[in-house]
Structure 1
Amino acid sequence: MGGLVRGGGVALLWRVVLAAALLCLIGLLPWLSRTDPALTVLKARSAERTPTPEALAAVRTQLGLEDGPLHLLGQWTSGLLRGDAGQSWISGEAVLPSVVQSLGVSLLLMSAALVVAVLTAGAVCARTLWLGSRRRLFGRRRARGGAAIFAALPEFLTASVLATVVGVHLGWLPALGWYGPQWMVLPAVSLGLPAGALLGRLLDDLLPGAYAEPWARAAAARGIPGGRIARQALRRCVPALLPNLGLFLVGLTGGAVAVEQIFDIPGLGRTTLQAAVAQDLPVLQAGTLALVLLAAVASGLFRIAARIATGPALRDGALPTLHSPAPPAPSRLPLLYGGLLLGIILLGLARDPLALDTAARLQAPSPANLFGTDALGRDVLARVGHGALHTLALALGISAFALVAGVLLGLLPRFSGPLLDTLNAIPPTLAGLVVAGVAGSGAATPAIAVAAVAWVPLAAHTAALLLQERATLHLTATRSLGAGRFHQLRRHLLPAVLVPVTRHALLRLPSVALALAALGFLGLGAQPPSPEWGLLLAENQPYAERAPWALLAPAAALALLGALAVSAAGGVWTPRRPRLGRGRRLDEPPRAAEARPAARELVTAGTTAR
């Protein structure tokens, strides 16, 4: 008990240090970026006002900028200890009430999006659960890419389509504002669909391993109803995803900036980003602190929920392994999606992405322009093809770095837990602003910002899988035979973790590519006329009604990338396939005559694990 208390105290101290360092870095942001905060604040207050020396001096005196950033930071911290987060530099209103109100709006939106995500995840893995309930999931896993279409769709594109079609043209639901439950539906669907598709794919990858466990085989041999086995298999897999679910919720609260902008929602992410752009330090620091506290509370609650859902087997070392050795069925989907994407890129590379033709603005697809033209008469196919080179190469590099960093830091949960909770509270856009403030705006700024936060969900996934794998029966037996930690790590833990985490990294490849392009659109990386895919989406969004092809072309390329990533992820598996007695593999259905003598013992073990 004393060790647990000491470990919890060290983790709490580590969280406090990280949060304080983050707030100090944000407090120094205007000075690190070598910009005049008085000029930025003056422009944010009134864009028409001339920034004369007298006006700038008045702003500096009013805000106390002449005393330096350390004095302002100390003054804000001392006021925070008294429950006063200061006043906004732009509006002059008290910061704390506005931040609390924005947090409440974001929590409501987060709850509605969670419902949509859970329903979407259930739809994604419904086929696997149905096959398991029919006892037909003892064979190979099948790589499927259907969920990739939803997982790869950018939130702001989904939001734009829903707002235009459902909100404006059809008039079924309101598209702007935040006045009641009806205004919550479209934003929640925009945020919940991609996240639910990703969570559903992760759960769908774990379910075959649960059905291959001894308790499931023994239960099937004894004639227990398939629906009951399916429910227990679902309960067996969910704890491994709860930490990632907590990260998703916190990231949703701070990262839903584009959706909040499109639907005019006064959420915390939008408030924090607007404060960062305007260098309104009191609002920015209070919003960041709220996100950090929310991340710490949510992550702690979901970790406790994962331990409770696993049951006493986690403490007793009585879990069966969730690592499924069954290989996937051969699939041609990666070749199909990869061939389509490669064909689009090659066709686009043969054309000039910067050639202007004002007489051919917003023309529909034709033999001369297969994907049509944009608002400046440029060939959309050429811009999609040339934009793929930079976007995909950088996204692949960042995904590889995130995989390595996520696995390594996931092996050290006591060290990385507070760090990933803190970094997850920072939206990628805010991370880009911080990186730009420290290192300056340039081509490397988006890569550094995205790489700084891309490893977080992979580390959380690694830590959750390791927590359960260390409590398995076979690892308990290995330790009792005197195996050292390095042997356990090399022969048992890493093989069980690398495969699902690698699949997870592939599933997040489209979101990495989109985050890179979104930061470039904000002016933190490549500038127009660069043909990055995110820039293409943002540039053509205002013309969605007149020229939908200009918007659908880069969206289709992103969807193809997502489908390729998901189908390729389904083909990742461990070639080593443990065998049961008499040369039978784990992925083969049990023989009833063999299962009955040991059924009682296996059901007891399964009950303990549940």
Structure 2
Amino acid sequence: MVGVSTRVAGLVGVVALVGLLPWLSGEDPARRLLRARSAEQAPTAEALAAIRADLGLESGPSGLLGAWASGVLRGDLGVSWVSGTDVLPSVLGGLQVSLGLMAAALLVALAVAAVLVLPVLVRGRGTSGGVAAMLAAVPEFLLATLLLIVAGVWLGLLPTSGWAGPAHLVLPALALGVPAGGLLGRLVADALPAVLDERWVELWRGAGVRRARVAAAALRRVLPPLLPQFGMVAVGLTGGAVAVETVFAIPGLGRTAIGAAKSQDLPLLQGAVLVLLALGLAVGALAAWLRRVLLGPGLRDAGLTLPAPRPVRVPVAVPVVLAAVLVAVIGWGLLRDPYAVHTAARLADPSPAHPLGTDALGRDVLARLGHGAASTVGTAAAVCLAGGLLGLALGFLPSLAAGLADIANALPPVMVGVLVAAALGPGPGGAALAVALVSWPPLAAHAAALVQEVRAAAFLRAQRAIGAPPLWILTRHVLPAVAAPVARHAVLRLPGVALALASLGFLGLGAQPPSPEWGLLLDGTADYVERAPVAALAPAIALALLAALAVSLSAYTRRTDLTKEPHVAA
């Protein structure tokens, strides 16, 4: 019951926050609306009073929330502050485009996952775990940019922007579907070998059952426990679609939300975020229903779990080499000035003076990479510390954590970044807050598993039997056993957090120019990729190295601390 109540409370809280967006920034909503409609008009008392009366702002936050909620129940999402048109048609139009993109991306994801899983079904063993992990770790915005540059600009094979036909769907669907397919393929390929080693498979094969039927039964055995994670992958497509729609100028719901946040069109933003949240929750509910159907009435309430997956084997030298390369580049760049402008050397080729060339203003790309990494890594370290502390605390309250985690998982970092930017304005602090709000569930799950294991230990039962106080047991035994593994887990998530921060910077929701943040650097390079390819691709290569480091550290984590974490529960 605690989990259900926290889910309901969390959902109500998120909806209330969306409804109160006009008030969260602390700025007068009437003044913000006046600036959104006409930046030149003076905010006179008469003009502000007219806007408050027109929109019902005089009733205050509670009255505005009530009016907005009642309008939502009637199917009325309000009127755009910028265009003055109804919000609902704009949201529905964007939703139609986004659903088409999601459907195409899911088809790509299933095809990629099938290619990764097929060798395991045929041979009973697979070597695609590393490939799947690499594909899963590639950020959608980075893959979208690379596809746009290579397939769209250099080769001219496919359109690079717009939404006018099937050809415009290919590159965006690949950018979204390939990472999702890598994750789905890795989940299934990790679990299948252990399932194929189970006793029933040997009996079926001995009885002469065809290989295809055994493979189908193994997939039927694997899929139900994995379906909740499949649902999270589909929800992640809504968050990834925001960046992909922005890269390819697709008029989808994510791009609508980004545009509304930047223009401070809060009614349009409210409608877009509300629909995206409902879409995420609906996908999660659909995954739960499919799981129940696959399990059938006999196993519906059973504690069905999958065997622990075999870890992806990554030599220790791989993360060491990747980290050494990144540290060397960052250290070299920190010795140089990232803001010095040399107009005579704009878009210069690599040279001893500028090893990676210069950007469109003549600034040294290596210097900007180094200083941007330092600020991004520092912010990521603070986010990991906050997430580790929150995850550790919630690990002792598993029912509460499970309910809150469902809400956090239904909100991808990009959408939380949009909300924070709408309330506080874009900036590095808002981006860090957005990532921190949704990055704690894996740490909380890890902490909860360790707490359960330690509390069941025989030596703790002996301590209780001799009358040891609960506080003494907690501080002397439970916390030391849980805190260290969770702290290492949080540190190893640092590259992934840095990538999430870079994605928000890429969308203009994080650090602002002239900051050398990596996401901003990548966003500004596509315009001159043909004239200065090295300078343009340097941020993309650096982000790819960071993604590879995240993969190798993730594999190392699975072999050490996370082997204590349950893989998948029914």
- Structure 1 length normalisation: TM-score? 0.74
- Please point out which of 495, 498, 518 is paired with 1:533: 518
Of residues 281-290 and 223-232 in structure 1, the stretch that sits farther from structure 2 once superposed is 223-232
Change (3 A) 1:324 1:176: closer
Say if 2:337 and 2:367, in contact at 8 Å, map to a contact too: yes
Q: Which residue of 2 aligns with 1:352?
A: 337
Please list the CA deviations of residues 442-471 of structure 1 after superposition, one character each: whole Å capped at 9, or x if unmatched: 6433222101012357778999x99xx99x
Q: Is the 8 A contact 1:176 1:183 kept in 2?
A: yes
* Correspondence for 2:417: 432
- Aligned pairs for 1:10-49 (under 5 A) are 14-46=6-38
AA aligned opposite 2:25: S
Query: For residues 135 and 255 of structure 1, what CA distance do their matches in structure 2 show?
Result: 33
SS at structure 2 position matched to 1:444:
helix
CA 1:249 to 1:405, structure 2 compared with 1: closer, same or farther past 3 Å?
Answer: farther
CA contact (8 A) 2:525 2:537 kept: no
| Cα 1:391/1:424, change in 2 over 3 Å | same
Deviates more, 1:540-549 or 1:150-159: 150-159
Change (3 A) 1:202 1:27: same
Cα distance 1:224–1:542, how it changes in 2: closer, same or farther (>3 A)?
Answer: same
Distance 1:222 1:574, change over 3 A: farther
Asked if structure 2 preserves the Cα contact closer than 8 Å seen for 1:328 and 1:570, the reply is: yes
Aligned-pair distance for 1:115?
1.2
1:445, 1:525 within 8 Å by CA — same for their partners in 2? yes
Asked if 1:275 is matched to 2:260, the reply is yes
The aligned residue for residue 123 of structure 2 is 134
Equivalent in 108, 115, 118 of residue 116 of structure 1: 108
- Give 1:247's match in structure 2, choosing from 226, 232, 238: 232
Q: Which amino acid aligns with 1:35?
A: E
Corresponding letter in the other structure for 1:252: L
Map residues 403-422 of structure 1 onto 2, 5 A cutoff: 415-422=400-407
User: In the TM superposition, what is the alpha-carbon distance from 1:566 to its structure 2 partner?
Assistant: 1.6
Contact persistence 1:243–1:302 (CA under 8 A): yes
Determine whether 1:291 maps to 2:276. Answer: yes
Match of 1:70 in 2: 62
Identity %: 51
Contact 1:173 1:186 in 2 (8 A): yes
Please give the alpha-carbon distance, in whole angstroms, between the structure 1 residues aligned to 2:312 and 2:70: 59
Alignment partners' CA distance in 2, 1:300 and 1:413: 21
CA deviation after TM superposition for structure 1 residue 150, in Å: 3.7
Counterpart of 1:542 in structure 2 is 527
Aligned twin of 2:222:
237
2:404 alignment partner AA: L
2:189 equivalent to 1:181: no
Q: Structure 2: how far apart are the matches of 1:28 and 1:383?
A: 38
Structure 1 unmatched runs, 5+ = 1-6, 471-483, 485-494, 579-608
SS at match of 1:555: helix
Answering whether residue 91 of structure 2 is matched by residue 99 of structure 1, we say yes
State the alpha-carbon separation in 1 of the partners of residues 113 and 485 from structure 2.
21
Cα contact 1:344–1:381 (8 A) shared by 2: yes
Secondary structure (helix, strand or coil) at the match of 1:298 reads: helix
Alpha-carbon displacement from aligned partner over 1:159-189 (angstroms, at most 9, x marks no partner): 3343455445655433332233332222111
Letter in 2 for 1:198: L
Secondary structure of residue in 2 paired with 1:256: helix
Secondary structure of the residue aligned to 1:85 is coil
Report what 2:546 is aligned to.
Answer: 561
* One-letter code aligned to 1:339: A
* 1:519 and 2:508 are equivalent in the alignment: no
1:491-548 deviation digits (Å, cap 9, x = unpaired) = xxxx9xx999x99996x75552232134346666544333221121123232222222
- Where does residue 383 of structure 1 map in the other structure? 368
Task: Say whether the 8 Å CA contact 1:45–1:90 is kept in structure 2.
Answer: yes
State the partner residue of 1:198.
183
How do 1:453-472 residues align onto structure 2 when only pairs under 5 Å count? 453-456=438-441
Quote how far apart the aligned CAs of 1:52 are.
5.7
In structure 2, distance between residues paired with 1:204 and 1:537:
33
Q: Which residue of 2 aligns with 1:589?
A: none
Whether the 8 Å contact between 1:273 and 1:429 is mirrored in structure 2 is no
Is 1:335 aligned to residue 320 of structure 2?
Answer: yes
TM-score (norm 2): 0.78
Q: CA deviation at 1:113?
A: 0.9
* 1:27/1:281 contact within 8 Å kept: no
Indicate if the aligned counterparts of 1:153 and 1:555 stay in contact, CA closer than 8 A.
no
Alpha-carbon distance change, 355 to 409 in structure 1, aligned in 2, over 3 angstroms: same
In 1, the alpha carbon distance for the partners of 2:424 and 2:378 equals: 22
Contact 1:149 1:559 survives alignment (8 Å): no
Following the alignment from structure 1 to structure 2, what is the Cα–Cα distance between the partners of residues 263 and 327?
Answer: 34
Instruction: Work out the CA distance in 2 between the residues paired with 1:126 and 1:404.
Output: 41
1:107 & 1:410 partners in 2: Cα distance?
36
Compared CA separation, residues 333 and 222, structure 1 to 2 (3 A): farther
Higher relative contact order, chain-length normalized (CA < 8 Å, sep 6+): 1
The 1-side partners of 2:393 and 2:202 are apart by 34
**1:373 maps to 2:375:** no
How far, CA to CA, are the matches of 1:331 and 1:511 in structure 2?
19
CA RMSD of aligned residues (A): 4.3
User: Structure 1 residues 445 and 83, CA, compared in 2 at 3 Å: closer, same or farther?
Assistant: closer
2:140–2:240 CA contact under 8 A, matched in 1: no
Q: Which moved more, 1:149-158 or 1:188-197?
A: 149-158
Rounded Cα–Cα distance in structure 2 between residues aligned with 1:174 and 1:327: 37
- SS of the residue corresponding to residue 89 of structure 1 reads coil
Deviates more, 1:321-330 or 1:389-398: 321-330
Amino acid at match of 1:259: V
Q: Aligned pair 1:215/2:200, yes or no? A: yes
User: How far, CA to CA, are the matches of 2:75 and 2:536 in structure 1?
Assistant: 47
Q: Indicate how the Cα distance of structure 1 residues 46 and 176 shifts in structure 2: closer, same or farther if over 3 A, else same.
A: farther
Q: Give 1:269 shift.
A: 1.8
